[in-house]
Amino acid sequence: MSEKLRYPKREYNALSLFSGGGGLDLGAEAAGFTTRVCIDNDKACCETLETNKDFPRGSEKHFLAKAKILCRDIQHLSAKEILANANIEKSEIDLIYGGPPCQAFSIFGRRKGMEDPRGPLLLDYVRIVHDLQPKVFVLENVPGLETVGGGKIYNDLVDLLKKETNGGKFDVKPFVSDVCDYGVPQRRKRIIIIGSRLEVPITIPPSTHGPRENIGTYVGDILPYNTVGDALKGLPQVNSDKVPNHKTRTHSERIKQRYAQLAFGERDSKTRINKLDPNKPSFTIIVGSEHGGGKGHVHPYEAREVTPRESARIQTFPDDWSFSGSKRNVIRQVGNAVPPVFAAQLFAHILKKQFREKNVPDVDDLFRILGQEHLKH
């Protein structure tokens, strides 16, 4: 751990699109960006962001202290309105980041792509990036985006992002990452598309964690994967009020008996969810939809599904980051999110490599800022 937390001496202004429950936002702010506006059309997500806005984490960081939470449909927002709410000039935008809804492209959905009403929101992301011309943008989505529609949607998207508009052109680099390679106790692959106008080669953040049996084969200080056991360490008893969103579902005795008999990693035949292995990273947290689904995985030691807080631990949210809304909405916010620990390492890497910023928190600092000391080996 660094003796003194390093943060940039100037403000790097960021705009957040499709903010959801705040996973990318936490990562960007932990790394050293100052988010000026967060936009989402879901009222519960906006309430989550407002509830946690400017809430101190120790004495080092107040998250989203300068962000305006804008609860609007992005399809009906102009770039001019976004800029007015951010209260900065166009030339001051360093970063735009966001993850347009991924259900249209996810293997867990029906993969309707642009035929899904949420699919065209990708084009709104492109529109705003082209209109506002940030120095760098980050777009996050599911790997299924690459293959839906035979790959045409993905290829067209990348071509659109590269297209010269409004006097600017982005160098664009897509890559797929598994967040467990960055210390997140969960297997979760995501496609990241970075665009930059800074004429600096775009590079991928180096992995910090790897399989325990292969640690010796890596070059550098690679740590073993964090596991479910690491993630759940130190949490209070279920249904405790010491941390928010830590209430469990009520299960029948029949379900409890089935869950108790499952081996680690085994799938329940009825609910189609898996029992977590405490010695491995979690399966991907599943979001579900407005109509249901999104059940947590089965707890490794107790005959029940994990609570939203336990899922949030697996997603690397701080324990005091409180999610608003109905139980179903909370599960969706947690499951939709980019794990903050992964996002923080991505944005710190962008600050260092794209902006050539020297005062950036190191990996140990990022874990500490995000309240993930229980994951540090």
* Backbone φ and ψ of 171, nearest 5°: -75, 135
Q: Are 324 and 332 in contact (CB under 8 A)?
A: no
Q: At a CB cut-off of 8 Å and minimum separation 6, what does 236 contact? A: 242, 243, 246
Hey, which residues does 172 pair with through a beta bridge? Answer: 195
Reference 95, options 138, 61, 57; nearest CA is: 138
Compute CA distances 321 → 32, 208, 339, whole Å: 19, 25, 13
Question: C-alpha dihedral over 41, 47, 51, 52, to 10 degrees?
Answer: -30
Catalytic positions = 102
Q: Are 118 and 103 in contact (CB under 8 A)?
A: yes
d(CA 217, CA 213): 9
- Tokens 């608003």 map to which residue? 324
Question: C-alpha dihedral over 218, 29, 45, 374, to 10 degrees?
Answer: 50
The DSSP code for 276 is: P
d(CA 192, CA 362): 21
Hey, which residues does 173 pair with through a beta bridge? Answer: 194
d(CA 328, CA 27): 24
- CA dihedral over 32, 38, 44, 49, signed as positive or negative: positive
